[in-house]
């Protein structure tokens, strides 16, 4: 079974959303993990926006990359430039992929405007994850 690591700065939004979608689209064909170069906790807006799309990430935890040094990942996906540039360690045998998604945690405005910014990033990540699974696990 393939092992996928999604890496972000704080493992609070983008990587959590990607983990949820990768698990969903992989449908048991992969073990999916997410981590950050630091941990900020799972963002409640990320949980809420995924729930709107029928995916429950409320049980996810915010993990540091150092927790996974003993796992041989097949794929590592960085979902922000900061994580790609600052990660202290990448699994040596893993294929690396990168896409710099906007950070919804930096959303500003009214409550509806913030939720809409989260939804927009969620849809970008959903499309990326669907395509990734189709290209690499189908």
Q: pTM score, two decimals?
A: 0.95
**Confidence (pLDDT) at 82:** 76
Contacts of 81 (CB under 8 A, 6+ apart): 100
**Which segments of the chain have a pLDDT < 70?**
84, 87-90
Query: Any idea what DSSP says for residue 10?
Result: S
Q: Residue 47, Cβ neighbours under 10 Å: how many?
A: 19
Q: Is 1 helix (H, G, I), strand (E, B) or coil?
A: coil
Which of the residues are catalytic? Answer: 8, 80, 87
List the alpha helices (DSSP H) in the chain.
14-26, 44-52, 81-86, 111-136
100 and 81 in contact (C-beta within 8 Å)? yes
Give the CATH architecture of domain 2-136. 3-Layer(aba) Sandwich (3.40)
Give the residue extent of every domain in the chain. Answer: 2-136
d(CA 90, CA 121): 25
pLDDT value at residue 81: 80
**Would you state the pLDDT for residue 138?**
77
How many angstroms separate the Cα of 74 from the Cα of each of 29, 44, 80, 115?
13, 29, 19, 33
């Amino acid at each position: 079974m393939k092992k996928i690591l999604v890496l972000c700065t704080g493992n609070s939004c983008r990587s959590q959303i990607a983990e949820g979608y990768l698990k969903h689209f992989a449908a048991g064909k992969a073990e999916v993990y997410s981590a950050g170069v630091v941990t900020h906790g799972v963002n409640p807006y990320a949980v809420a926006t995924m729930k709107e799309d029928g995916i429950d990430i409320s049980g996810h935890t915010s993990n540091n990359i150092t927790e996974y040094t003993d796992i041989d990942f097949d794929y590592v996906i960085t979902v922000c430039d900061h994580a790609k540039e600052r990660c202290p360690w990448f699994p040596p045998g893993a294929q690396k992929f990168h896409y710099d998604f906007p950070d919804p945690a930096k959303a500003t405005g009214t409550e509806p405007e913030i939720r809409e910014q989260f939804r927009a990033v969620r849809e970008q990540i959903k499309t990326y994850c669907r395509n990734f699974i189709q290209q690499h696990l189908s």
